[in-house]
């Protein structure tokens, strides 16, 4: 099975009431942990690479890791650029073998967002690559962009038909209250997602795949483990998983998860070093870290995304 696009995956997910997990990858252990879980559960999977990940690990290394995962698992795997911020970056990923790119011009004006998204769509479609775009602004940190809660804004459903028609994008990320990172909601407040916006967008774009960014749940056991082993993450709160499951039953076909993998990995390594202070072999602490990633992804596939057995 070659590296594939999201076209068929999303059509099946939309009709089946489930979502595909889009997990961020930065190194070999993360790729292995995610794809071993997906392979065991026969789940389709999206591996996504941010601009920062590409700068950290190098395009070719990431590309080859994903190709290796595809060979090892035989799974349909999508290789996706997460939060592409320019035509040039998207073009470079299309030219370099990615099967899906996101152009995120959500912080620009409506017209500028349409113009650059259209440009990316024309290039990508000519090369058999699909495009995710974004309307509305999420709070939180992604690469070097930091959006405060006050500057974030929900997607306006009345904009989506014009945006999708004029850009020709294949999927749309919307802002309904999720945000990037581990500090999504204020301690003491009740996490809320605007399902009314999601449903109105879906009504206006029947059958069109919707994407949710910022969808880590920030499991408290990992925050507590980090804090118990020398960390300091007070007030880290994520999106409740039952809300994500509900979104996956509706029009959401792709759910982005990065922070939860970081938490699982970091908690495991902190714990390991507390228990084995004399160890210094990277394999000794990366092995349980990889296992923690795998366990996290298994849980997401079964309990949140509902895509087990769908590959």
Give the residues lining the site for Zn ion (CB under 5 A). Answer: 213, 256
Q: Stretches 152-160, 210-218, 224-232, 245-253: which one binds ligand 13P (CB under 6 A)?
A: 210-218
Contact in structure between 75 and 47 (CB atoms under 8 Å): no
In the annotation, is 82 catalytic?
A: yes
Strand 100-103, strand 77-84: pairing: parallel
170, 198, 172, 244: which is closest to 8 by C-alpha? Answer: 170
Contacting ligand 13P within 242-281 (CB under 6 A): 256-260
| Least distance CB 24 / ligand G3H (angstroms) | 5
Residue 254 interacting partner from ligand 13P, ligand G3H, Zn ion, none (CB closer than 5 to 8 Å by kind): none
Kindly state the number of chain residues that form the binding site for ligand G3H, as judged by CB under 6 A: 10
H or E element, residue 292: helix 282-299
Q: Which residue carries 């409740």 as its tokens? A: 240
Residues 274-293 that bind ligand G3H (CB under 6 A): none
Does 308 interact with ligand G3H (rule: CB under 6 A)?
no
d(CA 86, CA 101): 11
Q: Does 134 bind ligand 13P (CB under 6 A)?
A: no
Pairing relation of β-strands 140-142 and 145-147? antiparallel
Binding ligand G3H by CB under 6 A: which of 41, 78, 80, 83? 83
Q: At a CB cut-off of 8 Å and minimum separation 6, what does 3 contact?
A: 66, 67, 70, 77, 78, 79, 97, 99
**Is the separation of the CB atoms in 24 and 50 below 8 Å?**
yes
DSSP state of 191: P
Out of 70, 85, 142, 241, the residue judged to bind ligand G3H by CB under 6 A: 142
Residue with Cβ nearer ligand G3H (53 or 66): 53
Query: Among 80, 91, 180, 270, which residue sits at the site for ligand G3H (rule: CB under 6 A)?
Result: 180
Note whether 84 binds ligand 13P by CB under 6 A. no
Interface residue with ligand 13P, options 51, 54, 80, 213 (CB under 6 A): 213
**Cβ distance 31 to 69 under 8 Å?**
yes
Dihedral pair phi/psi, residue 206, rounded to 5°: -60, 130
Nearest to 303 by CA among 10, 21, 13: 21
**Residues in region 51-70 near ligand G3H by CB under 6 A:** 52-53
Q: Is 3 helix (H, G, I), strand (E, B) or coil?
A: coil
* β partners of residue 291: none
Residue 180 lies near ligand 13P (rule: CB under 6 A)? yes
53 binds, options ligand G3H, Zn ion, ligand 13P, none, Cβ within 5 to 8 A by partner type: ligand G3H
Q: What x/- string results for residues 251 through 270 when contact with ligand G3H is judged by CB under 6 A? A: -------x------------
**Residue with Cβ nearer ligand 13P (59 or 204):** 59
CA angle 309, 12, 219 (to 5 degrees): 60
Among ligand G3H, ligand 13P, Zn ion, none, partner that 52 touches (CB below 5 to 8 angstroms by kind): ligand G3H
Stretch that binds ligand 13P, among 2-10, 67-75, 127-135, 212-220 (CB under 6 A): 212-220
Report CA torsion sign: 169, 175, 176, 179: positive
Whether the CB-CB separation of 257 and 22 falls below 8 Å is answered with yes
Q: Work out how close the CB of 256 gets to ligand 13P at its nearest, in angstroms, rounded to a whole number.
A: 3
Residues in touch with ligand G3H (CB under 6 A): 24, 50, 52-53, 82-83, 142-143, 180, 258
Q: Which residues are catalytic?
A: 82
């Amino acid at each position: 099975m070659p590296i594939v696009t999201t076209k068929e995956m999303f059509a099946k997910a939309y009709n089946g009431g489930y979502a595909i997990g889009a997990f961020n990858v930065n190194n070999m252990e993360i790729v292995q942990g995610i794809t071993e879980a997906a392979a065991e559960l026969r789940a389709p999977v999206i591996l996504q690479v941010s601009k920062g990940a590409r700068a950290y690990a190098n395009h070719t290394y990431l590309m080859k890791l994903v190709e290796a995962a595809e060979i090892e698992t035989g799974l349909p795997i999508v290789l996706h650029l997460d939060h592409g911020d320019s035509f040039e970056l998207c073009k470079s990923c299309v030219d370099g073998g990615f099967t899906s790119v996101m152009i995120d011009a959500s912080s620009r004006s409506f017209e500028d967002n349409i113009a650059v998204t259209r440009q990316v769509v024309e290039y990508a479609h000519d090369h058999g690559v699909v495009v995710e775009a974004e309307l509305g602004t999420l709070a939180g940190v992604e690469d070097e962009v930091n959006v405060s809660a006050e500057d974030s804004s929900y997607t306006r459903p009345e904009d989506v038909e014009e945006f999708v028609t004029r850009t020709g994008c294949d999927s749309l990320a919307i802002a309904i209250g999720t945000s990037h990172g581990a500090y999504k909601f204020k301690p003491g407040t009740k996490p809320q997602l605007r399902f009314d916006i999601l449903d109105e967008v879906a009504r206006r774009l029947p059958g069109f795949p919707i994407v949710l960014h910022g969808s880590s749940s920030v499991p408290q056991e990992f925050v507590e483990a980090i804090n118990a082993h020398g960390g300091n993450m007070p007030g880290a709160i994520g999106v409740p998983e039952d809300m994500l499951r509900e979104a996956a039953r509706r029009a959401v076909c792709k759910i982005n998860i990065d922070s939860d993998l970081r938490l699982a990995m970091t908690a495991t390594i902190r714990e390991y070093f507390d228990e084995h202070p004399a160890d210094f072999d990277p394999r000794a602490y990366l092995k349980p870290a990889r296992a923690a990633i795998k366990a996290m992804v298994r849980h997401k596939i079964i309990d949140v995304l509902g895509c087990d057995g769908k590959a």
